[in-house]
Amino acid sequence: MPKVKSEGANHGAPATRGQWLRETWDSTIGKKVIVAITGAFLVLYVVLHMLGNLKAFQGPGGGDPAVDKYADWLRTVGGPAFPRSSILWIIRVLLILALVLHVAAIIGLARRNRAARPAGHQVATRIQRSFSARTMQITGFAILAFIVFHVLQFTTGTIDVTPIRDQAVYANLYNAFQKWYFVAIYVIAVALLGLHLRHAIWSVTLTGGWEKPNRNPTFRGTATVVATVVAVGFAALPIAFYAGWMPKPSPKEVAGALPATAAR
């Protein structure tokens, strides 16, 4: 007997890749997963970036600072198979995409939560929420503003209160952090970053469904340790430069570098 196709037969058909992506993005769970995945990628980058910055503590190196060598390695990694700076730009594009998706998904979840509240709804006091959890949106947007500032200062050289020279990372850091207001901006920003990271890392375990009463203290402790190490690691450098604990850059390093605008 021939089979009769019912109206709902198409519901069992496998979704195309585009449909699956749209359904994932449109669902609350999908957005939470996207926030977790992109957040984990951004956390990994932040940790690696902090570790790279710490190479500045090796000093000016007689005109060839370790942090300058590290910056040059980032530009040349993958060569000669890949052109200079190509891997670095791939990483930058991935970071921008991850950041855009992360922010867009968070905004979408916030709007969905507001839309689901009935008229006249009052948010109950949540005494169990940590300070880092209550301030996630504030710290998130503050970090976004700081990222723009950081790029304009050290990447594009648009903010050139202190001379920014291409391939002279140590000298650029030294000069910038002789200004108390730059030190204050960076220390405040990384303190907010630490607050944000603490709850963000903990949230990844919730989204992944890994939390359990016997595991939660370990997860929370790990989130606190990672966030604290990152914040202290980033803050230590501007404080050390401003306090005079770091040697002045070698004239050899500055002489061999071009102004950032000329190098571009």
Considering only residues 120 and 5, tell me which one the structure prediction assigns the higher pLDDT. 120
Range 225-238 average pLDDT: 97
- Structure tokens of 139? 């710290």
pLDDT-based confidence at residue 24 (cuts at 50, 70, 90) = confident
Burial 64-100 (b: 16+ CB within 10 A, else e): ebbbbebbeeeeeeeeeeeeeeebbeeeeeebeebbe
Which DSSP string do the residues of 23-84 spell out, in sequence order?
Answer: HHHHSHHHHHHHHHHHHHHHHHHHHHHHHHHGGGGG--GGG--HHHHHHHHHHHTTTTTS-T
Query: Is residue 55 assigned to a domain?
Result: yes
194: containing domain: 29-77+85-106+137-263
Q: List, in order, residues 6 or more apart from 68 with CB less than 8 Å away.
A: 61, 167, 168, 169, 170, 253
Q: Give yes or no for residue 89 having a pLDDT over 80.
A: yes
Query: Is residue 166 assigned to a domain?
Result: yes
Instruction: Give the model confidence (pLDDT) of 150-164 as tens digits.
Output: 999 998 888 888 878
Neighbours of 199 (CB within 10 A): 21
Region of 200 please: left (phi>0), alpha (psi -120 to 50) or beta: alpha
Query: Is residue 254 assigned to a domain?
Result: yes
pLDDT-based confidence at residue 1 (cuts at 50, 70, 90) = very low
Query: Is residue 14 assigned to a domain?
Result: no
pLDDT-based confidence at residue 51 (cuts at 50, 70, 90) = very high
Per-residue model confidence (pLDDT) at position 260 = 59
Q: What percent of the chain stands above pLDDT 70?
A: 85
Query: Is residue 191 assigned to a domain?
Result: yes
Query: Is residue 230 assigned to a domain?
Result: yes
Contact at 8 Å (CB) between 166 and 244? Answer: no
Q: Give yes or no for residue 125 having a pLDDT over 60.
A: no
Q: What span, in angstroms and rounded, lies between the C-alpha atoms of 185 and 190?
A: 9
Q: What span, in angstroms and rounded, lies between the C-alpha atoms of 196 and 51?
A: 19
Contact at 8 Å (CB) between 137 and 195? Answer: no
Instruction: Give the model confidence (pLDDT) of 157-204 as tens digits.
Output: 888 888 788 889 999 999 999 999 999 999 999 999 999 999 999 888
Q: What span, in angstroms and rounded, lies between the C-alpha atoms of 215 and 217?
A: 6
Q: What span, in angstroms and rounded, lies between the C-alpha atoms of 154 and 149?
A: 9
Considering only residues 259 and 175, tell me which one the structure prediction assigns the higher pLDDT. 175
Query: Is residue 186 assigned to a domain?
Result: yes
pTM: 0.85
Pick from 21-25, 219-223, 242-246: least confident: 21-25
Q: Which helix (H) or strand (E) holds 227?
A: helix 216-243
> Which one-letter amino acid corresponds to residue 97?
L
Per-residue model confidence (pLDDT) at position 204 = 86
Residue closest to 209 by CA, chosen among 27, 22, 33: 33
In angstroms, what CA-CA distances link 152 with 70, 142, 159?
Answer: 21, 16, 6
Q: Give yes or no for residue 66 having a pLDDT over 70.
A: yes
Number of domains in the chain: 1
Q: Which helix (H) or strand (E) holds 8?
A: none
Query: Is residue 99 assigned to a domain?
Result: yes
Residue showing tokens 């942090």: 67
**Largest interatomic CA distance in the chain:** 90
pLDDT-based confidence at residue 128 (cuts at 50, 70, 90) = low
Q: What span, in angstroms and rounded, lies between the C-alpha atoms of 163 and 171?
A: 9
Per-residue model confidence (pLDDT) at position 262 = 43
